[in-house]
C-alpha cells in the first residue's frame, strides 16, 4: 500500500483541499471496530477495481443481534464494502478483494469456498426494490425452492407465510399471493425483497440503502421492521440518511474515500464524534 496522497487524490478525483488530504491520510480507524459477539469479522480489507483502489484497509466486526450502519459521502466505498460481505462483488469484472473476511470463523474469500451457501447465510437487500417478475408467492418461495429447504407444498406455504409475516407484509398481500410482485408499491416491493431474503433463514442481512427509493411512510415501516429483525439476525445497513442510521443502528461506521474513519456506538458518533471528518460530515459541512 505505497500509494501517495497525490495518486490517491487523482484516482478518487474528489476532495482537493490540502487540509482534508493530510487528515484523511491518517488511516488508523478511530474507535473500537470490534464487536462483543462477532458474527462477521473483517480485517484490513482492500478492494480494487482494476487498478483503482476503492477500499483501503478496512477492519470492522458485525456482531450478533445488532444493526451496524455505514454512513459517508457518495463514492466513499460503503456499498462496495457491503457487497464484499457476501461476495456479490464476484459478478463485477476486475474486482479484487484482499485481507480477511470471516463468517463465524470461516474465511469467505478462501479460493475453494463456494459462494452459494455463503449467500444463503448472508442475504442482501438492494437499493432499488428488485422483485422478480413472478407472483408474490413465487418471489418468496424462490430461495427455499432452489435450496430445497422444504419437503412439501404445505411446508413451503407455511414458510412463505411466516416470511411475509416477519417482513410485515402478510396482512397486505395474503389475498393476492398469485399476483405479480412488480405490481406492489415501492415500499411493499422492498418488504417483499426482505421477505424473500428471510425465507432462506440467513444469519446476516446486508441492506444497501434499502429506503433510498421509498417515501417517508414506507421508510418508517421498513425502519421499524429492521428493528424487529434485529432479534434474530445480524444486520449491516448502508444509508445516506444520518437520521436513519441514528434511528435503527446500535453501532455506526463512518467511511470516507475508501477509508473507515471512525466506528463507535451510534449515540457517541452522532453526539460526540472524535474525528474531524466525522464531525464535518455529521454537522453537514460536506457530503
Partner 1 sequence: MSKPTLNAPQAPVRRTIDIVNASLKRRHAQERRFRRIGAIAVALGLAFVVLLFADIVGKGYTAFQQTYLQLPIELSAEKIDPAGTREPETLSTADYMAPIRAALRQQFPEVTERRELRQLYSMVSVGAPQFLREQVMENPDLIGTTQEVWVLADDDIDMLVKGQIDRHAPEESRRVNDRMLGWVEHLEEQGRIEKRFNTIFFTQGTSREPELAGIAGALMGSFYTLLLTLILSFPIGVGAALYLEEFAPKNRWTDLIEVNVNNLAAVPSIVFGLLGLAVFIGFFGAPRSTPLVAALVMTLMTLPTIIIASRVALKSVPPSIREAALGVGASPLQTQFHHVLPLALPGMLTGAIIGMARALGETAPLLMIGMIAFIVDIPSGFTDAATVLPVQIFLWADSPERGFVERTSAAIIVLLAFLFLMNLVAVLLRRRFERRW
Partner 2 sequence: MYAWTLIVVLLMVMALAYHLGRKRAIASAGGVTQINTLHSLPSYYGLYAAIWAGLPALLLMGLWFGFQDQIVTSLVTANLPAEMLDGQSSGRVGLILNDIKNLATGNIVSATVTPEVQAAADQYARLARIANWAMWLAVLAVAVGGMAYAWLRTEPQMRARNRVESIFKFIMITFSSIAILTTLGIVLSVVFESFRFFQMISPLEFFLGTNWSPQIALRADQVGASGAFGAIPLFTGTLMVSLIAMLVAVPIGLMSAIYLAEYAPRNVRSIAKPVIEVLAGIPTVVYGFFAALTVAPLIRDLGALAGLNVASESALAAGLVMGIMIIPFVSSLSDDVINAVPQSMRDGSYALGATQSETIRRVIIPAALPGIVGGILLAVSRAIGETMIVVMAAGLSANLTANPLDSVTTVTVQIVTLLTGDQEFDSAKTLAAFALGLTLFLVTLVLNVIALSIVRKYREQYE
Residues in contact with partner 2 by the rule CB under 8 A: 86, 88, 91, 93, 115-120, 123-124, 126, 128, 130-134, 142-143, 145-147, 193, 196-197, 200
The binder of partner 1 chosen from 19, 93, 114, 175 (CB under 8 A):
114
Alpha carbon of 117 to those of 67, 86, 89, 286: distances in Å? 22, 10, 16, 40
3 binds, among partner 1, partner 2, none (CB under 5 to 8 A by kind): none
149 binds, among partner 1, partner 2, none (CB under 5 to 8 A by kind): partner 1
Burial of 7 (0-12, 13-18, 19+ CB in 10 A): exposed
Q: What does the alpha-carbon distance between residue 198 and residue 235 come to, in Å, rounded to a whole number?
A: 12
Q: With contact defined as beta carbons under 8 Å apart, do 141 and 199 qualify?
A: yes
Q: What does the alpha-carbon distance between residue 267 and residue 236 come to, in Å, rounded to a whole number?
A: 17
Q: With contact defined as beta carbons under 8 Å apart, do 124 and 68 qualify?
A: no
Burial of 206 (0-12, 13-18, 19+ CB in 10 A): buried
The binder of partner 1 chosen from 7, 32, 110, 178 (CB under 8 A):
110
Asked if 213 interacts with partner 1 (CB under 8 A), we say no
**Nearer to partner 2 by C-beta: 13 or 117?**
117
The binder of partner 1 chosen from 2, 91, 112, 152 (CB under 8 A):
112
Q: Of 93, 176, 166, 178, nearest to 135 (Cα)?
A: 178
Tell which positions 117-136 bind partner 1, by CB under 8 A: 117-118, 120-121
The binder of partner 1 chosen from 172, 203, 227, 280 (CB under 8 A):
203
Q: Give the dihedral sign, CA 208/135/142/170.
A: positive
106 binds, among partner 2, partner 1, none (CB under 5 to 8 A by kind): partner 1
The binder of partner 1 chosen from 148, 171, 175, 217 (CB under 8 A):
148
User: Which chain residues interact with partner 1 by CB under 8 A?
Assistant: 103-107, 110, 112-114, 116-118, 120-121, 146-149, 200-203, 232
Amino acid at each position: 500500500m505505497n500509494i501517495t496522497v497525490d495518486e490517491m487524490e487523482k484516482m478518487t478525483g474528489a476532495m482537493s483541499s490540502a487540509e482534508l488530504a493530510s487528515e484523511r491520510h491518517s488511516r488508523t480507524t478511530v474507535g473500537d471496530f470490534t464487536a462483543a459477539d462477532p458474527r462477521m469479522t473483517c480485517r484490513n480489507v482492500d478492494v480494487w477495481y482494476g487498478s483503482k483502489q476503492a477500499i483501503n484497509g478496512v477492519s470492522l466486526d458485525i456482531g450478533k443481534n445488532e444493526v451496524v450502519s455505514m454512513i459517508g459521502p457518495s463514492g466513499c466505498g460503503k456499498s462496495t464494502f457491503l457487497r464484499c460481505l457476501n461476495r456479490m462483488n464476484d459478478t463485477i469484472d476486475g474486482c479484487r478483494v484482499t485481507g480477511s473476511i470471516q463468517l463465524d470463523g470461516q474465511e469467505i474469500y478462501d479460493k475453494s469456498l463456494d459462494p452459494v451457501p455463503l449467500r444463503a447465510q448472508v442475504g442482501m437487500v438492494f437499493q432499488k426494490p428488485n422483485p422478480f417478475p413472478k407472483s408474490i408467492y413465487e418471489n418468496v418461495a424462490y430461495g427455499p425452492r432452489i435450496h430445497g429447504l422444504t419437503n412439501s407444498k404445505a411446508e413451503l406455504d407455511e414458510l412463505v407465510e411466516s416470511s411475509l409475516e416477519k417482513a410485515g407484509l402478510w396482512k397486505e398481500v395474503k389475498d393476492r399471493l398469485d399476483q405479480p410482485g412488480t405490481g406492489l408499491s415501492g415500499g411493499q416491493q422492498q418488504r417483499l425483497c426482505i421477505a424473500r431474503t428471510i425465507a432462506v433463514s440467513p444469519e446476516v442481512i446486508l441492506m444497501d440503502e434499502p429506503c433510498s427509493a421509498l417515501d417517508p411512510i414506507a421508510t418508517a415501516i421498513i425502519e421499524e421492521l429492521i428493528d424487529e429483525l434485529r432479534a434474530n439476525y445480524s444486520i449491516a445497513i448502508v444509508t445516506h440518511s444520518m437520521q436513519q442510521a441514528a434511528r435503527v443502528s446500535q453501532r455506526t461506521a463512518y467511511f470516507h474515500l475508501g477509508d473507515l474513519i471512525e466506528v463507535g456506538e451510534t449515540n457517541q458518533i452522532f453526539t460526540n464524534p472524535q474525528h474531524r471528518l466525522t464531525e464535518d460530515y455529521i454537522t453537514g459541512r460536506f457530503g
